[in-house]
Every structure is written in C-alpha cells, then in structure tokens.
Amino acid sequence: MSGPYGEVVAEHHRRPHNRGAFDAPDLAREGLNPLCGDRVRIELKLEGGHIAAARFDGEACMVALAAASLLTDLLQGLTLEEAAALPDQKLLDALQTPLRPSRIGCATLPLQVLREAIADRP
C-alpha cells in the first residue's frame, strides 16, 4: 500500500491521466466542493455521439485528482447518456481503497461536474 489511500490513488495523483485542457472542448464544466475547496474542471471532445477524449484540471486533494484521472479513462467511448448514468460506485470502486464518509464527496466531485455539464448541454 502506498500512502493513506493505496497504490491506485497514489499512482493517479503522481502521474494523472488526461490532465490539461483542450483548445476547443465540445463540453466543459468546472465545479467546486464548498466543504473543502476542491475545484475540478472536466472537458470532453465528442465524435459521432461518443466521448472521443476527456481531460481534467483543477486544484484539489489527492482523492479528487485521482478520481478525475480515473474518470477520464472510464469515459472513453461512452455516449453522453452512458456517461451521465455512470454510477458513483463504479468510480469509487476504481479507486480501489476504502474512503471515510467525509472523503466520498471528494471522490465523486469529478462525476458530479460531468453530470452537470451534460445536463446543461444545449
């Protein structure tokens, strides 16, 4: 085990996947967890009704950044409807570590931001 949250969280925190911004995302949203100050931005590129690529950025705790990194991997190839319906538990399971109840909001913030972006899409 690496650190308090395990190897998966530690690895995605050290070497996050898909971190950064697109020049012209098809869908983007930034969200904030007011309880802890975590801020995450999710951006998507769409092709043929599917998510061709996903990126994230933000200033957040280790758990939120690792969850955003994992989420961008999970989104590849999904439709927006499939992405919006992604259960919280799937993302929590991908972290492969037990979280205290106070950390669940950190882990699910990227998914919440994604759902808001999809819901607000014109």
* CATH number of the domain where residue 108 is located: 3.90.1010.10
Buried b / exposed e along 5-39 (16+ C-beta atoms within 10 A):
beebbbebbeebbbeeeeeebebebebebeebebb
Q: φ and ψ at 90, to 5 degrees?
A: -65, -45
Q: From the centroid of its chain, how far is CA 114?
A: 7
The count of structural domains within the chain is: 1
Which phi and psi angles does 42 have, rounded to 5°?
-115, 135
Domain that holds residue 58: 6-119
pLDDT band at 122 (very low <50, low <70, confident <90, very high): confident
- Over residues 56-74, the mean pLDDT reads 97
What mean pLDDT comes out for the span 75-81?
A: 97
Which residue stretches of the chain are H helix? 6-14, 62-75, 80-84, 88-95, 101-119
Mean pLDDT of 47-61: 96
Pairing of strands 39-47, 50-59: antiparallel
Query: Is residue 1 situated within a structural domain?
Result: no
